[in-house]
Every structure is written in structure tokens, then in C-alpha cells.
Structure 1
Amino acid sequence: MQELDERFDVAAVVGDGLIRACDLRELGVHPSSVQRLERAGVLVRVRAGVYAKRDEWNALTPDDRYRRLIVATAGAARHPLTVSHRAAAAMHRLPMLGPAPTLVETAAQGRTGGRRTAHVATRRAGPPPTVTMIDGVACTSLLRTLVDVAVSEPLVHSVPMLDVALARPDITRRALALELERVSPTRGRAKAEHAIAFADHRAGSPGESVSRVRIHELGFEAPELQVRFDKILGSYALVDFYWRGIRLIGEFDGRLKYSRSRSVSGLDPAQVVYEEKLREDALRRVGERMARWGWSTAWAPRELHRLLTGFGVPTRR
């Protein structure tokens, strides 16, 4: 059994975490051994002919699992493929919200497309995209990926990606607009133009991006972003949203903000919560009000509408 484990470890190293049946055959592992370990729960099937160790697979984030599926699918393809849309977004490490996709999207040449297999969905791609290699996978360029996602996905999915990308010096609104013009989609163009115009590099997190989209979709007046309040606890406070006319601060509180606090700042999460409470109290003392919400509210339009209406946030005229 130890010798078998070592062979699986060798295959995992060769496959960068993925265990390919072809590598196992070369190492002398019989297919029946693979099937037996899969039934026993030691291995998990990533896709046909590709496996991973169950404990290692369970330790991955959903995004990392999806990236492993993309790598496995590209490696198993009979013909070279170019990963596109949400699959390319995942490879570019753009924020992926909602359930991880189960299909790998690829770019079709010209305006054909719409084909689907057990693992691959071929999307209409327009003119040939610029290709970049990520982890050994051919992907549409970051600029093209952002445009494809803006064309095909709702704002709550595309805007967080665009917000993150616009913080980079090589991605500009003009470059996105020019790429959209080059792609010239037959559908989704107006939606993409709206997403590109709406995106803002000042967004501090995907949760803030989703919240901003929801605030807009619900018809509320747009808040100011990343507003600074001086002389707060001997320093300053930077808030996510601010409706100046009604002196209301809006703060998105994702669990990630606190769960990552130790790795980012070295502080204990409980200490971060305590200091956040002191900050909020200081802002209230200078006459500001505070509305807080998290992911469950940001994803539920009725709840966010009820919250902001209760605080008197005005609607757009």
C-alpha cells in the first residue's frame, strides 16, 4: 500500500496536484486500483481520466477547484483550445461570485459557437482573441476576458471583475471600450457599455462592488465612495459608502474582512471587531449614522431595499 501511495504522490507532483490516469499507467498502477480508491473516497474524480487526493481536494477553495478542472480539461483536449469568459476570468484570478461554474468555457473562431459537451461550452467569440498562457492554459487576454464577461454576464458578476481590473495601470476604461468596439457583439453590447461605465477602481472589495450594483438597480441615489473622515481616534476613517445629504455611512461587512485580519494585519479578529466598534462610535459622535450589511443582504435585493429605505436613503430623480 505504501508503494502505491508513493506512485500516486509521484503522479500528483507530475500533474501539479492532478493525478492523470495516463501517468498512473506509466507508473504501473492498474486501473482497478484507481477505481477501488475512488469508491473508498481516497480519490475524487475531477473529470474523466483525471483525479485528485480527496483530502487535498477538500482543502481547496471552490475557485481553486474550478481552476484545477480548467487545467485538467485543457490538458485532456484533443485539439488546442482557448479558455474564455468565466473560465478565463477564473484563470486571471478575477473575483468569482456565486456558485463555481461546472463547465469550461472556450472561445470559438468567428461567430460560430454554442456547442456543449460534458465538460466544455464553446462560446461565440467574434474576432480571434489575444491569447495569454496561465498555468499552462491558453486563455483570452485580461482585456478580452473582461469584455466577454461584461457582454455575457449580469452586472453583479461583471462589475466586481471590472472594478478590480481598473485598479491596474494597464486596464483603462478607454481600452475596454476599444476592445468592446473590436469584438462588436451582436447581443449584450448595451449591457457591457453600462458595466464599463459603471465600474469604479475605488471599490474596496467584491462585496462593495455587488452592493453598489444593487443600490443602483434598486433605484437609490448613488453614494460617494471611500470617503475620508479626519480626526477620528487620533487619525482618520475611510468608509465604503457615504450619502452626504442625509449623513449616512454605509459599510459592507463580509466575513472575509475579519477572518483574514490576522494574516493581513497580524491582529486577532476579535481585536479587529473591537477596534471597528470604537471607530463606529467615534463617527457617530461627530453626527454620522451608520448602516451595515453583509453578503446575505447584498444578495437579497428586498432586504437591502428594506434596510436603506429604513435609513431614509433617497431614490434617484
Structure 2
Amino acid sequence: MIPIPRTSPIALVRAAELTHSTRSIRRGEVVPVLRGVYAETGDWQSLPRWERDLARVHAHLLRDPDAVLCLESAALLWGLPTLGAIETVHVLADDTATSRRVSGIRVHTSAHSDRVIDEIGGIRLTSPAETCVDIARTRHPAAGLVLADATLRRDATMTAAALATLNEQRASARGRRHARWALERADAAAESPLESTSRAGIEWWGFPTPELQHWIGPWDDDGDRTDMWWPAIGLVGEADGHLKYDGRFGDPVAALRAREERDRRLRRRGARAVAHWAWDDLADPSALRDILLSAGLSPDRPPDLNRLAGLRRLLRPGLPSATPPP
């Protein structure tokens, strides 16, 4: 099946195509998405952050349809998640160009022969695997792990070993060692950006590595699949997020009751404890640690305080998902 790029979440129009453009801008009827490209104010204001990032990419493609997207901009078009605020459109140029950042566009210079460039729906962009390696080389390790896990989930033929090999075979050594942490740990069993980020936080706090997607109970509708499982102490870990319980997916009271019933069922079937956490607990410097300690889990190595501090800074802007969580 030919992949379909994610389209712009709102209608975009060039300034030259606006009727009475100066008047519309002065009255606040439209807002600039990028220089020379506008959207209706109400449409723009209704967008969550990750959809605004996607709209900016499409705004640039209106201005330069031959651009080669890379890094987070390519990930957005592939429908892959990212961490942290973006607000910049990333494009790839060959090594005869000059790296620069102008009006929300960041031009990266690299020989195209060193990248696999795909074309979907007339849009040129780095392949999912190339995008994954680029982000793993240049971004915080948690961002690299989120994208690496998602890349494996999306493509059953892709492996962590293949991503690691692509990283090692790049002509440039810049960022190679930095990327290894994320690429070597990539695992399709992590089902969401929150689970992937949790994996990073758990390791950096020095806790034992959990089993992912462990099944508890009979292999039918009466059983439960857990996000994480520590068999040595019978601990279930659930990366919940707040979206399940804020009302947008149904009655939040009913959702909480269903969670409580599921927790009781897990304990009846052998779990000693069930720990829950959300994005806020990963951004807080010690919340995840305290939750796991309270549930009876003990670290078996010193924490990586440097990476934990970087994770806190990365998550500070807000919900760190480029696409709506499931």
C-alpha cells in the first residue's frame, strides 16, 4: 500500500490569494502561519500544538513544493511522533548550500547521496528510517527512542539492528555515538510516545528494565495486557496519560471506575501492585521515581541525572506528542 502523507489540518492560503488581504490581516480575520501563508484565525487557534507544527510544514510546501523535508518535519508527514516543541520547518539541502535559519525555516546541508529520499503524494522527504537516525543523532535520547519505537511499530520489516546499522554506515560520524542509545533500545512493543518516554525515564532513574506488553490472566477477553511488568516483585506499570480521563473520550468517571476494576482484577490474578503515571510525572524531576519506589521497585544502578535534567527541559512546553495519542 502506498503511504499517504498527513495533510494540513486546516485550509491555508497565500497572501496573494486573499481577497482584501491587508484588511483581513488588520481585522484579525487571518493569521500568518509562515511568511506569506495565512489561515483563518479561528481555525488556527483551535489547533493543538502538534497540528500547528504540521500546518507550518504544509505552509512551507505551498511556498516551495520542491523542498526536501527532514527531521521532525518529515516525521510529521509520515505520521510519526516527536517530543518537544518544534515551531521550525526542517528542510534538507545538498552540501553546496549554506546551513541557515530564516523565517521559521531551518535549512540543513547534507549530500543527498547519504540519505534515502522518498516521495509520497508529490512530497519529497527523508525515509522513516533516515528520519529516525537523523533525530536520534541530533536530539535528546528520549526523542530518539520515541521515534525509533514508532518506526518499528509502523514497519514490521524494520528492526532495531537495521536502524543501528544505518547509523553506523553514515559517512559522517557526527552524532553517531549519541544515536546509539536510542537505536539499540528500539522496541515495537512500546505502544505510545508515553510508553517510550517512560522506558527512558525508568532506565535513567536506575530501575530494572520491565517486560513490555505482558499478559495477565486467560488468553481471551477476560485477560489484561499490561504496559510494563516487573515479574520479580509482581509490579504492573501503566503509562496512562490524562487524555483517557479528561472527558474527550467519554465519561471520565466511568473511565476511572473501569481502571479501578481492572487494577483489582490484575491484583486478583497475581499482581502485587499497580503503578500509574502520566506525562506530568515524567516532566517532574522525581515524580516517576517516587511512584515506582512507593510501589516497591528498587533501583539497581545510579541515576543518570544529566539525561533526566534534559528530559525535564524537553517536556516542559506541554504534551510532547506530535500526533494525538491513541
Give TM-score, length-normalised by structure 2: 0.80
Q: Deviations over 1:200-224 (max 9, x none)?
A: 1001211111111011112111111
Cα contact 1:233–1:282 (8 A) shared by 2: no
Deviating more after overlay: 232-241 vs 41-50 = 232-241
Q: Deviations over 1:84-136 (max 9, x none)?
A: 1111111111112222x122111232397532212211224355322223454
Q: 1:120 is aligned with what amino acid?
A: I
Q: Secondary structure at the match of 1:116?
A: strand
1:90 lines up with 2:76 in the alignment: yes
Q: 2:33 is aligned with what amino acid?
A: V
TM-aligned CA distance change 1:243 to 1:44, over 3 Å: same
Cα deviation for residue 40 of structure 1 reads 2.0
Q: 2:224 is aligned with what amino acid?
A: A
- Which residue does 1:11 correspond to in 2? none
1:292 lines up with 2:276 in the alignment: yes
Q: Secondary structure at the match of 1:121?
A: strand
Give the distance between the partners of 1:189 and 1:111, measured in 2 at CA.
Answer: 23
- Which residue does 1:166 correspond to in 2? 152
1:117 lines up with 2:102 in the alignment: yes
1:315 lines up with 2:299 in the alignment: yes
Q: Secondary structure at the match of 1:201?
A: coil
Give TM-score, length-normalised by structure 1: 0.82
Cα deviation for residue 275 of structure 1 reads 1.6
Q: 2:183 aligns with which of 184, 192, 196?
A: 196
- Residues 274-289 of structure 1 correspond to what in structure 2 (within 5 A)? 274-285=257-268, 286-289=270-273
Q: Deviations over 1:160-214 (max 9, x none)?
A: 1111111222422233233223323332111212211111100121111111101
- Which residue does 2:132 correspond to in 1? 146
- How many residues are matched? 290
Q: 2:101 is aligned with what amino acid?
A: R
* Structure with greater helix share of residues: 1
- Which residue does 1:303 correspond to in 2? 287
Q: 1:103 aligns with which of 82, 88, 105?
A: 88
Give the distance between the partners of 1:259 and 1:136, measured in 2 at CA.
Answer: 38
TM-aligned CA distance change 1:222 to 1:295, over 3 Å: same
Q: 1:21 is aligned with what amino acid?
A: A
Runs of at least 5 residues in structure 2 that lack an aligned partner in the other structure: 1-8, 302-326
Q: 2:23 is aligned with what amino acid?
A: R
- Residues 65-80 of structure 1 correspond to what in structure 2 (within 5 A)? 65-77=52-64, 80=66
Quick one: percent identity of the two aligned structures?
30
Q: 1:304 is aligned with what amino acid?
A: L
Q: Secondary structure at the match of 1:95?
A: coil
Give the distance between the partners of 1:261 and 1:69, measured in 2 at CA.
Answer: 26
Q: 2:169 aligns with which of 165, 182, 190?
A: 182
Q: Secondary structure at the match of 2:223?
A: strand
Cα deviation for residue 289 of structure 1 reads 0.5
TM-aligned CA distance change 1:255 to 1:159, over 3 Å: same
- Which residue does 2:323 correspond to in 1? none
Q: 1:274 is aligned with what amino acid?
A: R
Q: 2:140 is aligned with what amino acid?
A: P
TM-aligned CA distance change 1:231 to 1:288, over 3 Å: farther
- Which residue does 2:14 correspond to in 1? 20
TM-aligned CA distance change 1:75 to 1:182, over 3 Å: farther
Runs of at least 5 residues in structure 1 that lack an aligned partner in the other structure: 1-14
- Specify the structure having the higher radius of gyration (Cα): 1
1:210 lines up with 2:197 in the alignment: yes
Q: CA RMSD in A?
A: 2.6
Q: Secondary structure at the match of 2:101?
A: coil
- Which residue does 2:232 correspond to in 1? 245
Give the distance between the partners of 2:24 and 2:172, measured in 1 at CA.
Answer: 47
